[in-house]
Amino acid sequence: SQQGEEDPQALSIQEGENATMNCSYKTSINNLQWYRQNSGRGLVHLILIRSNEREKHSGRLRVTLDTSKKSSSLLITASRAADTASYFCATDAWANFGNEKLTFGTGTRLTIIP
Amino acid sequence: DARVTQTPRHKVTEMGQEVTMRCQPILGHNTVFWYRQTMMQGLELLAYFRNRAPLDDSGMPKDRFSAEMPDATLATLKIQPSEPRDSAVYFCASGYRDSQLGEQFFGPGTRLTVL
């Protein structure tokens, strides 16, 4: 089963508005990562937040992590047309130390309307 | 500008044929992953290597898929025989693990169509 589940599955907003995507996961993690995928391209790493961190910023991105609720959110402020893409969360499961692997969620398809 | 490269970018083949996909990870990375992406299943981990040793290939159909790293600069994913249900985009990614698994760098993918 998927370790990460994003919500919503699809989101359309006007350019300039903020976009918020959520991710829930099931097991204890070392870290949680967010990736972006433009249509027909590979995934691009956006930001990594460790299990002992609660919030992290990178440019227009803000990520929060609530390990008690096993959830994370990605906020993109002042959205631009170029932000149109699919966004995935990925968790690095703690269960097998030294043998971690990332498990990707199902993704949120974000469309920015000019 | 270090990046993961994959060849071929596109492959169309007939059912039953052998398919070999190649990946050159970023120099210095010690972990290499193979993923498959489809509309129905999303992104699935097929196999991964650390320091060229296979750590987990539980995501691969064992009877037809095989993954190897003959050297640090080349990872291969082979399907023999291929089937129409193997049609997907196959991504290779590399990363470096020290105390934790960090970010992964994805290649552009191989779009495979099996007729």
Q: Tell me what pLDDT residue A98 has.
A: 56
Which among A100, A104, A106 has CB closest to B101? A100
10-residue mean pLDDT series, chain A (114 residues) = 73 96 90 93 94 96 96 97 96 64 89 95
Which among A41, A88, A99 has CB closest to B43? A88
Least Cα separation, residue A2 to chain B (angstroms):
9
Residues from chain B contacting residue A100 (CB–CB below 8 Å): 97, 100-101
pLDDT at B48 over 80: yes
H or E stretch at A74: strand A71-76
Q: Which residue of B has its CA nearest to A101?
A: B101
Q: Tell me what pLDDT residue B70 has.
A: 93
Band (pLDDT 50/70/90 cuts) for residue B99 is low
